[in-house]
């Protein structure tokens, strides 16, 4: 039995950026909420020789990627606290 939701694309998240400080995470989180952009944060597993104490990956929907990138560049520019990724999320749920 097919439903109307069977043909919808579900996995359309893009990894926006890596954030390496909690202050930058809070600032970016507030800016995305203010712009009404849905997101989720992924906390990757720490590795043994990781040089960053804090690491968080912001993921946004494909439809909001350009607007979210603008917000990041306006807030941080070329700050080393944030590293832009802008690639498809490698996790496949289906």
Number of domains in the chain: 1
71 within 8 A of 32, measured Cβ to Cβ: yes
| CATH code of residue 41 | 3.30.70.790
Q: How far apart, in whole angstroms, are the C-alpha atoms of residue 10 and residue 59?
A: 14
pLDDT tier at 25, thresholds 50, 70, 90: very high
Range of the domain at 77: 13-87
pTM for this model (two decimals): 0.80
pLDDT in tens, 40-74: 999 988 888 888 889 999 999 988 999 999 999 99
Query: How far from chain centre, in Å, is Cα 31?
Result: 13
pLDDT in tens, 29-49: 999 999 999 999 999 888 888
Q: What is the three-class DSSP state of 39?
A: strand
Q: Is residue 93 included in any domain, yes or no?
A: no
Inter-CA distances, 24 with 19, 21, 29, 48, 58, Å: 7, 5, 8, 24, 11
Q: Residue 93: what pLDDT?
A: 55
């Amino acid at each position: 039995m097919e439903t109307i939701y069977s043909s919808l694309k579900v996995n359309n998240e893009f990894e926006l950026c890596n954030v390496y400080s909690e202050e930058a995470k809070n600032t970016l989180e507030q800016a995305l909420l203010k712009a009404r952009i849905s997101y989720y944060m992924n906390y990757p597993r720490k590795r043994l020789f990781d040089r960053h104490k804090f690491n968080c990956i912001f993921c946004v929907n494909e439809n909001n990627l350009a607007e979210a990138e603008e917000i990041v560049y306006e807030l941080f520019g070329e700050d080393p606290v944030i590293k832009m990724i802008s690639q498809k999320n490698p996790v496949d749920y289906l």
